[in-house]
Structure 1
């Protein structure tokens, strides 16, 4: 897990949403929003330009939604009029025409913009007129509404090739194009009982594949394929502050094929847990962030380095970093200082724990050494031992890797767990297993 590398000035307040868009000339614009204002990142000096419209200051109490429709970016929350931003021309945003309803969520489906969870109608979706995101008159140009009678509050909507999904608190729906009927969309219940526990925990990676946190853990798809059962579900639900359970938010890292969720612990920390959908494995990070977003790297010139570093010797990133390339899809975050940052820094310290194992059923055993299968040049190992299940953990002295690769250790007990640590800023790619040498200690 690379460290965060901050590149921008502070937004001045917590970021409640961010997105990137590509203009017709191939350049990228990064837009972010706080509770009261909307900003665009200056790609030269990495300052933020306030592009708020006449409806500002805004009063967003939840995260903003961003949906691109042609050359227009729709930016909205349920408390304020929907804002539109001209992607090619730039400048300030303005109110979307056509008197659309205020809504929490939106997506594009074919030639329609769909809004979900409307102001005063949390179980209703409303789609625009055909190929016109500023036409919202029901019954005209195909625009219409649909109240969903079961499943409760709408938590997320996203488009698919043949329609769009609606994820609710206690149900899931699929609206498909109905080209052979007088209706634009027809509704199918795809899960009548279960939904998501947190609106922003729903992460869509395309082609009907999405992941989310439910009341009983992490799942994939409408059929609720468990991805966290007997691995992380009980643990994550025990460490999340229950008061912030509905604040869990997720984003897909477009480069590493990992879905990351940010959650708040009972101690007030905002940590991350990640699911690699290609490897079907979990990871975690205690790096403090306010939220994460899929963005693109901004790219830097040599002259622009002066805005971030006092001297060339102060550059703490490799010059082939994705941060310097520009336009590369990657995971971004806003740090605790409300600065835009990318996970392109030096590697953070990595910690690996095995489960507890019992070398000998009859007698106690002493761990004498370990050998790690890793390409890290430096690593340490600590043995955590117990005399019985429920006993307090006892930690051995930390052992360092020798020139032979063997790490000398001394730990006695019936149950042992190996903890391997790779120091921060180490260059490495693999840690696959540990071979442990044990001898019978003779004690019972």
Structure 2
């Protein structure tokens, strides 16, 4: 048997336990499962999205917001269209919105626009909160923090206690802190006891000390930073982020100190930096999917000429395994919608059988944030559609340890009906493979092949419905002479 192991393109090309390349599937404990396609849910946003946010009302309902270079928008769940809640902004291309929620107020900002506020209770329009322009907004305790301000790029400022409309200096709980090193503040994340501040070349913790001499104290815990303002995300007490040398997970407690785990080392780091467009490295975006225990980074590859992104690199933090999706997207998000009744579904589709997203999906029940994205037409899509076409490729394997072999058939261990194989053959370890096929599966489950070489690579493509792919079995091969 040849198992389809973890995706680890940085490993040796002769490591038969890992896959050097795969796409459009996700890891499970004993193999691989399909990844759902991104199916459109909303009408098109009036402009290219450069920010999104999922806010929660006191009644438990969700409200979806999105930002563009010129406006802010709210999704109308009844029409699935976008309602303008703010306009006249002048973001430069490449700038993005940062959002946060303080009580029943959504705040939004960037380095071109004074921080805006939106009242959730009234579904109101955006109004100016304060004349401050910030790259990152986050909440710590009873205060709103603004990081990467235009006039304080390497520091943070925070509001008065329990009053985000007031921004005093050294009074009422409000103040600012400029950091002596670490560079620009790019992203901040709220935590249970404080926050993380990720700079260009440092990580700092914010310790919340209510009732103390100082509300907040700051500690530099690592001399490693984040590549851009959207390249990290916090899940619970762990922050996942992309640094200049790879992917990391970081957590910090006063009792145990800093735990910095290089989750991409010797697995995906080298391959990522080899293919990513380094000129757009600061645009890499990171999103968490807590339901599926996945964190994903979306990026553009060198030579890609589309609008924004074309590859998603995902990490399953329970299994410690990576996967890869290939799909053109302009923004990745974790979003939800209000629930739907059967009557409202009739308005969406005249036939329930024609719904692209399954009725079992959390999209229809609401209240469960799921992985979402905006496609090239600026429509909000949920990763809840039909299976994406998946592909798995092995490293070079020498089936006959004394010479060449002729592979005449192989049986994929999968419940997929539509599976085909290609075989790559080479005469020695340094030759590029010559690919044979594709070969199609027979009713017996076996795939007849004919591929003569000293080294073989196996490539399986799956389409349609399936639930598991474990690897290859019953490989029929016999010793063969040189050709």
TM-score range, shorter chain: over 0.9
The structure whose residues are more often strand, as a share, is 2
Question: What is the root-mean-square deviation in Å for CA atoms of aligned residues?
Answer: 1.9
Q: CA deviation at 1:303?
A: 4.5
After TM superposition, the structure 1 stretch with the greater mean CA deviation from structure 2, 311-320 or 386-395, is 311-320
Q: How does 1:172-187 map to 2 (within 5 A)?
A: 172-179=203-210, 181-187=212-218
CA contact (8 A) 1:297 1:342 kept: no
CA contact (8 A) 1:217 1:229 kept: yes
User: Corresponding residue for 2:17?
Assistant: none
For 1:198 and 1:388, how far apart are their aligned partners in 2? Answer: 43
Number of residue pairs aligned between Structure 1 and Structure 2: 435
Matched, 1:129 2:160: yes
Q: How does 1:27-176 map to 2 (within 5 A)?
A: 27-52=61-86, 56-61=87-92, 62-96=95-129, 99=130, 101-176=132-207
CA contact (8 A) 1:254 1:294 kept: no
SS in 1 for 2:370: strand
After TM superposition, the structure 1 stretch with the greater mean CA deviation from structure 2, 264-273 or 35-44, is 264-273
| Residue 228 (structure 2) aligned to one of 198, 217, 233 | 198
CA contact (8 A) 2:287 2:334 kept: yes
CA contact (8 A) 2:63 2:337 kept: no
For 2:353 and 2:209, how far apart are their aligned partners in 1? Answer: 62
Task: Name the structure, 1 or 2, with higher relative contact order (CA <8 Å, separation 6+).
Answer: 2
TM-score by length of 1: 0.93
For 2:338 and 2:480, how far apart are their aligned partners in 1? Answer: 59
Q: CA deviation at 1:85?
A: 0.7
Q: CA deviation at 1:305?
A: 4.2
Matched, 1:268 2:305: yes
| Residue 211 (structure 1) aligned to one of 240, 243, 251 | 240
CA contact (8 A) 2:50 2:66 kept: yes
Q: Unmatched 5+ residue regions in structure 2?
A: 1-34, 251-257
Q: CA deviation at 1:373?
A: 2.0
User: Corresponding residue for 1:220?
Assistant: 249
Q: Write the deviation string for residues 155-214 of structure 1: whole angstroms up to 9, x where unpaired.
A: 1111222211111111111121245742111121100x211122211111121x111111
For 1:315 and 1:432, how far apart are their aligned partners in 2? Answer: 30
User: Corresponding residue for 1:245?
Assistant: 281
For 2:71 and 2:368, how far apart are their aligned partners in 1? Answer: 27
SS in 1 for 2:387: coil
For 1:243 and 1:298, how far apart are their aligned partners in 2? Answer: 39
For 1:339 and 1:37, how far apart are their aligned partners in 2? Answer: 16
CA contact (8 A) 2:414 2:470 kept: yes
Q: Write the deviation string for residues 55-105 of structure 1: whole angstroms up to 9, x where unpaired.
A: x31112311111110111111112111111111111211111xx4522111
User: Corresponding residue for 1:377?
Assistant: 417
TM-score by length of 2: 0.86
CA contact (8 A) 1:45 1:307 kept: no
Q: CA deviation at 1:293?
A: 0.7
C-alpha distance 404-297 of structure 1, shift in aligned 2 (>3 A): farther
CA contact (8 A) 1:39 1:49 kept: yes
Q: CA deviation at 1:398?
A: 2.0
For 1:203 and 1:438, how far apart are their aligned partners in 2? Answer: 48
C-alpha distance 162-317 of structure 1, shift in aligned 2 (>3 A): closer
Q: Write the deviation string for residues 335-373 of structure 1: whole angstroms up to 9, x where unpaired.
A: 100011111111010111111111233211122222222
CA contact (8 A) 1:297 1:330 kept: no
User: Corresponding residue for 2:379?
Assistant: 339
For 1:412 and 1:286, how far apart are their aligned partners in 2? Answer: 31
CA contact (8 A) 2:439 2:448 kept: yes
For 2:105 and 2:357, how far apart are their aligned partners in 1? Answer: 35
| Residue 478 (structure 2) aligned to one of 427, 439, 442 | 439
After TM superposition, the structure 1 stretch with the greater mean CA deviation from structure 2, 309-318 or 28-37, is 309-318
CA contact (8 A) 2:36 2:383 kept: yes
C-alpha distance 320-351 of structure 1, shift in aligned 2 (>3 A): same
User: Corresponding residue for 2:24?
Assistant: none
